[in-house]
Amino acid sequence: MNRISIIINSVFGIALIVLYYLHFKSNPSQDDQPIIIPPKINMKPAHIVYVNTDSLMDQYEYVKDMRKELESERNKAESEFQTKYTKLENEANNLREIIEKLSQEEAAKQQQDIMMKEQKLNEFREQMQEKLVKNEQDKNEKMLKSISDYLKKNYQKTGYKYILGYQHGGGILYAKDSLNITSEIIQGLNAQYKANKK
């Protein structure tokens, strides 16, 4: 029983730290976003409710659009890398065909040139990967902030003291279905997202 209490307190502590961090890190004013309340908030007879985060990530339109953008950026980066790689591969193949006709000095110079290009191509790939990872982190942070802001604006007067994120295999081992507010949160978030898109 004592271990469960420690685990629950740890989860609450982490959730509060994340909310505090997201609240004070962001520069834009929270007043910039419209307050959009779901058509109906079905108050639960408890101070603690939860959202199924797996369902949230599958059904929140912002997340769907974000995934499409990230996939498009990855495909574009891979295509750009593949084009450069193919060009370099062709140069190396051409050099192999004519290397016997070149002087030793000229052959060494061209081989050195290809090696330099290969090194630059590897650096380009690493920079691209770093950029994609950073971009994904930034988008995830914005998505988490949109959820946090929505909950603060629309649920702070409900009487709920905690809205926990439940995930299969996560920190919360059991949650009653009657405390699940996932569908109304998804509905409200999607309504807010559509309004902000316009």
Residue pLDDT, tens place only, 109-162: 989 998 999 999 999 999 999 999 999 999 999 999 999 999 998 888 888 889
Reference 155, options 188, 113, 122, 125; nearest CA is 188
pLDDT score recorded for residue 39: 45
Question: Cβ distance 23 to 156 under 8 Å?
Answer: no
Q: Percent of the chain having pLDDT more than 70?
A: 77
Q: How much is the pLDDT for 146?
A: 94
**Cα–Cα distance between 186 and 142 in angstroms, integer?**
16
Q: pLDDT higher for 45 or 27?
A: 45
Is a pLDDT exceeding 70 seen at residue 177?
yes
Q: DSSP 3-state assignment of 50?
A: strand
Which pair of tokens denotes residue 99?
């290397």
Higher pLDDT, 12 or 128: 128
Rounded percentage of the chain residues whose pLDDT exceeds 90? 52
Closest CA to 82 of 131, 128, 114: 128
- What would the mean pLDDT of 90-96 be, rounded to a whole number? 89
Q: What is the mean pLDDT of residues 10-33?
A: 52
**pLDDT at position 37, please?**
47
Residue pair 104/68 in contact by the 8 Å Cβ criterion: no
pLDDT, position 172: 86
Task: Give the residue from 116, 143, 135 showing the smallest Cα distance to 26.
Answer: 143
pLDDT of residue 175: 86
Where residue 12 falls among pLDDT bands split at 50, 70, 90?
Answer: low
Residue 32 has a pLDDT of 53
The overall average pLDDT reported for the chain is 83
Could you tell me where the beta strands, DSSP code E, fall in the chain?
A: 48-52, 162-166
Over its C-alpha atoms, the chain yields an Rg (Å, rounded) of 26
**137 contacts 171 by C-beta, under 8 angstroms:** no
CA 5 to chain centroid, in Å, comes to: 31
